[in-house]
Chains A and B, each alone.
Chain A
């Protein structure tokens, strides 16, 4: 804008120098000129303000301009060869994969064209608002390319959404006349209403040849699995309405609402019978068309013809009926879902939208057409918990994949993308987001078998300069039978670690790594030197743990390889006075954290800590030189929802000679800081993932009146 003001500043001076002239025409001229200059400046500002966009759109508009006034006309000769749809197409032979060798899916859109028959001057198709939106969605998506040579898929701008509207004898030649048609290879055909009276095929009767059909009314005979994509039939009624908030069942008065107008007469009959015999009117609401023949209202078919707003009325029912009509794909499915009403589908062999990625069993009830008469009985047997789960799933699916034509189009392209690039494909778990509430998780360590005993564990000792205590610790660790190797992380950059020869000689491998920076996170780096699954992170001053304790700790970790298993435990408590979390090291009946000063964990958690910790926790820990153990506990608890496991009664760590808890020696400031950590981390995670438990793990024969010789772990029990 400053640039614009500068230009404006020059301009009045121009006017002043010529203002002396008396000639009115001149005044007029210069006024005009001024206007022109202002216009020019304004235009310049407008363009330079959006420079990027301008050039971008300019580049694109060369290739594709969706403005309606610029449609080309193409004349068709009707004698072109007619080829049907290739019913034997599979992904493996009809799709030219060589066009898709780029890393991402690219879609080319043909420019808008109007196809006219040479003889009759009839138009092949007319562009509908919905198809325009589909084109626009692709155009604005990351899939669009203006270069047909780098495109993997081709999208004709020929509107074939509704077979009733276009001329099927012209649509075929029109498709065949496309520049890159080549028997329809890699072409996408969007269609929502296939078939005509009287047969109503479930696939559009156009010679789409080898093209991929993204169709709204497939049955399982016409759908070519893995090749075609089933899409929902869009409802124009949903164009204006915004998404409703999720209604709970409490507002939903009716068990089942039937508001579909064009149900097959025989199905409608059995539903009518059902509504007559339904024990109470609250179970089944049967709605028909009103006098005014409008889609936005429905009238009760029973005695008093009350008028209801459609589709809002569907929000009053738990379940909404979607049945077979002449065409099997009906917009009622989306209308029901938009009102968060669980669809009850009674269409045999209907291929549901995006069926190969969406697990519809979580969101719809399917019944067979021949069992419509028992639909109420079936719905009544569904538990309330299930109904709520399904409602959530319906809402989630609708708002993610189906809420408007843009979402539908993009989802369809994503389905194709996941076929063409299976490596990037989402798993069905992700497609269906079974994690809907914030507490649900996916435990990456889901192999249930016990970890092998033979591997042993790697002790990772973080040390700065306490060499004496370090050597003592190494000596103590070396005699633990299950120890595989020791890794010393020398976190002191000013001083080189003592030479390897000065280290105590032990029978196990020992390695020293000098770090570049003195960071606490170094203890959780997944060093390639760690060859075992289990890592024992241990502070260099924890020398009081006995060999039996460590051995038992490892044994325990093998049974709970996805937990943190360790010795020093802590608890977090909510302080009602300050409305904050409070860190507590008292000996209490509960624990929620196990400190990594002496704890076992799977190496995967080290990887996660280093590379996948949410927010800026890792930086924060490194900057403050504190709370790395709390961060680890948060990380594991958040991913697995598992509590940590405390091993054996051992409680005193920092000063074995102290008589009471370590609070005496601990710094109050330190505690305050750690409380702040908990507060901070729980804000970053958006919840408190830590779980409190009241148990600890001891050996089976702990404190039993039993000969010590026969006990496997004797030296356990001191504090």
Chain B
């Protein structure tokens, strides 16, 4: 081979090798190596490409601060320096020291009559807000005890062109005795600003450091973690209860006539008009109905544009209510202000809101996850709206629509709920008040009915246990309420009752060792079946030896306030005088510390039940821990002749009440009964010394929206021989009827729900050998 050729060959080879070397090297450091390869190279001791780079932070960024460091002091000060009401936060504009013990709200008294003798103006809605507060458990008449102050001046409508506009607010505020630049005050407002700019911050007075509970707030104006965005509600909005959501059926898939609907005003000119003016692009008359009108205000003819006539024609073809009920989605575009009535109306109708209101902070957005109940569109991308709503799956629609109803019923149905939700949001910011999780806020029964002070984990609540995948804790506490206190002997009903309880199969079902082992793992204390006697009778407590032997089952006897003659010597060691706050029959539902189990078995002293019945009811309760499960069923009905609710203990094909004379329920309801129910209701019970069991049923049904559950055949559950029972008194019955009506009035509606079923043991009365049956004693019990 010629040398020339050879050298060329060598040169080419070298060049190629060189190329290979560098080229391959280049490929090697290329960033796109799969993760596994990277991992391997790391294992081989290969260096990650970033390892050769310095870290962004070193020791000097974390070293201890010198004690006298001016820097530290000034830095700490820098965060405090942000003053001014525009930058209010709870830490800077709120006095927590007023709220340490309780969260109480003070409402200023109405202003004095003016020189002409006229009462200062106040709109109906503001009156409703004040009434809701004054009749609630938040209310205090002592300004010194109050945490939050509510103005007596109507601030709802701050549109100076409106007839509800209250004048001279600044000077009125100045006259308030506790104003203090608004600190710890809350100001409710629905409308601010006026034509033509509808400025959001223009209230016509300086709210100072007061918390704004305001509708139509925008992201920029809301002071985060301080103000609360509330929904806009119309003038006829109910004070209490209010209409339920209008979704009655839960069909899948939800085939509504229209996919997306909107019917409303449009403004032709000015702020917020563009969005509604261009809605006609989306209207197709088939599944998308977008109809607007310019026919509003006095001078609409002068302002109209050339689409107005056509729009008005189309507008008149559709009925608003019909659209609302027959549409899957409802467009909620901004009006002059960001929020609109339509939002709540759509929510109630179960028409999923499609929001077209940029920068609007949705009501209670800090707590409510609106992603589960609404759809966002962007005003800038208006024409995408049809595609957006068409792309939503049937399952999603199904879930969204149900969630609209949950939210409507729990937070938005009435002015009372809106005000209370506002208060609860503020309350959760207080240092010592526990914060509810987003699951609690966004699922039934909602935050208003879940008192976080009861327990810090949802596990101890009766709700959502299935969703959490846990069961109620084992065993129950039998609470026997003694009103008559007949002499205790082996034949007395109470004596027999206690003996019955001690025979329960649940006494030994979970052995102590097993329980301890479990509790180690689950970090829970170990609970046993126990008996709690609430002695409310006038007679003295029986001596300890008089009680039947309960073996290892703890028996606590508590003498209630009413029985003054209860001598401590006679009682068991745990005897104590009941809390003095509310003596009376409601004491049977106090959340006694002795009750540690989730299940409470509430019994009257003269209840006659056998052990199998108790055990069976308990197993049923474990599957329905949020309901009352028990024996004595009663029913309510609407009496047309009297135009009132009726109460019956007759045998009927349905029932809606299970009396707490022999029933299981979750101990949380004791807490709710004592700490949540309106004082008006508790007073009714106390005055009549009756109806506490009916009230408990109303409460539980109000929380769950479900009927109670009756178990097995037994209907009569009282020992007839005891005699002298208040139950035999005819007045007693009439009283209960009137109670029921009072309760329904205070609740604002009738929470009770009827049921047709009762739960029996699986082989109940089946023609098989009794030996095969688990609950044999129940077979022997007639009705």
Contact = CB atoms under 8 A, between A and B. Distances in A.
Contact of A712 (B87, B251, B467, B756): B756
List of 8 A-B pairs having minimum Cβ-Cβ separation, nearest first: A439-B469, A57-B32, A440-B469, A384-B523, A129-B53, A128-B56, A92-B358, A712-B653
16 contacts: A61-B30, A128-B54, A262-B62, A383-B456, A384-B524, A385-B459, A422-B376, A435-B469, A445-B250, A448-B444, A455-B249, A533-B251, A695-B759, A699-B757, A712-B653, A712-B756
A533 to B, nearest CB: 5
A447 B250 contact: yes
Nearest to B768: A587
B248 to A, nearest CB: 5
Interface in A648-707: 649, 651, 691, 693-706
Interface of B: 1, 3, 6, 9-10, 13-14, 16-17, 20, 23-24, 26-27, 29-34, 49-57, 59, 61-72, 74-76, 78-79, 82, 87, 89, 91, 96, 218-220, 224-225, 244-245, 247-253, 358-359, 369, 371-372, 375-376, 378-381, 388, 391-392, 394-395, 398-399, 402, 405-406, 431-432, 435-439, 442-444, 455-457, 459-460, 466-470, 522-524, 616, 619-620, 623, 633, 651-655, 704-707, 710-711, 713, 715, 753, 755-768, 772-775, 782-783
A525 interface: no
B773 A649 contact: no
A450 B249 CA distance: 8
Contacts of A649: 763-766
Given A236-B55, A236-B57, A705-B783, A265 B67 contact: yes
B586 to A, nearest CB: 27
Given A368-B91, A448-B444, A43 B24 contact: yes
Given A40-B16, A446-B406, A704 B54 contact: no
Nearest to B82: A221
Contacts of B707: 559
A602 B252 CA distance: 9
Contacts of B394: 607
Contacts of A532: 251
Given A288-B64, A602-B252, A225 B761 contact: no
B6 A35 contact: no
A448 B706 contact: yes
A328 B388 CA distance: 40
B57 A193 contact: yes
B56 A193 contact: yes
B50 A446 contact: no
Nearest to B89: A349
Given A54-B27, A97-B380, A429-B442, A589 B16 contact: no
B53 A646 contact: no
B225 A641 contact: no
A696 B376 CA distance: 46
A423 B392 contact: yes
A67 interface: yes
A140 interface: yes
Given A165-B56, A697-B757, 14 more contacts: A29-B6, A92-B378, A164-B61, A221-B82, A264-B75, A349-B91, A385-B524, A428-B438, A435-B467, A441-B467, A452-B249, A531-B251, A556-B757, A695-B616
A32 interface: yes
Interface stretch (A20-28, A475-483, A501-509, A624-632): A20-28
Nearest to B14: A32
A427 B758 contact: no
A705 B782 contact: yes
Contact of B760 (A202, A361, A698): A698
Nearest to B77: A199
A198 B75 contact: yes
A88 interface: yes
Contacts of B27: 47, 54, 57
Given A199-B75, A699-B758, A440 B468 contact: yes
A468 interface: no
A60 B72 contact: no
Contacts of A693: 619, 623
A262 B439 contact: no
B249 A192 contact: no
Interface string A109-139: 0000000000000000011111111001001
B761 A695 contact: yes
A128 B756 contact: no
Q: Tell me if A's interface is mostly helix, strand, loop or mixed.
A: loop
Contacts of B52: 68, 129
A277 interface: no
Contacts, number: 433
A99 to B, nearest CB: 12
A387 B459 CA distance: 12
B758 A36 contact: no
A686 B322 CA distance: 48
Nearest to B64: A261
A588 B460 CA distance: 32
B763 A589 contact: yes
Contacts of B768: 587
Contact of B762 (A164, A559, A590, A701): A590
Contacts of B753: 450
Specify which of B245, B442, B623, B652 lies most central, judged by the most chain A CB atoms within 10 Å of its CB: B623
B79 A348 contact: yes
Interface in A415-459: 422-423, 425-429, 432, 434-435, 437-452, 455
A349 B79 contact: yes
Interface in A27-83: 29, 32-33, 35-36, 39-40, 43, 46-47, 53-54, 56-57, 60-61, 64-68
A700 B61 contact: no
Contacts of A387: 523
A87 B597 CA distance: 54
A266 interface: yes
Contacts of A428: 369, 371-372, 438, 442
B381 A97 contact: yes
A638 B64 CA distance: 53
Contacts of A368: 91, 96, 431
A33 B16 CA distance: 10
A526 B9 CA distance: 75
Contacts of A172: none
Nearest to A378: B432
A407 interface: no
Contacts of A705: 782-783
Given A164-B61, A386-B457, A455-B249, A696 B764 contact: yes
A712 B618 CA distance: 28
A249 interface: yes
Interface stretch (A3-11, A289-297, A487-495, A536-544): A289-297
Given A262-B64, A384-B524, A587-B763, A192 B9 contact: no
Contacts of B651: 701, 704, 706
Nearest to B6: A29
Contacts of B219: 90-92, 225-226
Contacts of A471: none
B31 A139 contact: yes
Contacts of A559: 706-707, 755-757
Given A132-B49, A698-B764, A702-B713, A348 B91 contact: yes
A547 to B, nearest CB: 16
Contacts of A261: 62-64
A695 B760 contact: yes
A129 B50 contact: yes
A281 B524 CA distance: 25
Nearest to A442: B467
Contact of B395 (A262, A444, A704): A444
B456 A382 contact: yes
Given A198-B74, A265-B69, A448-B704, A700 B619 contact: no
A231 interface: no
B63 A362 contact: no
Given A447-B250, A448-B704, A289 B63 contact: yes
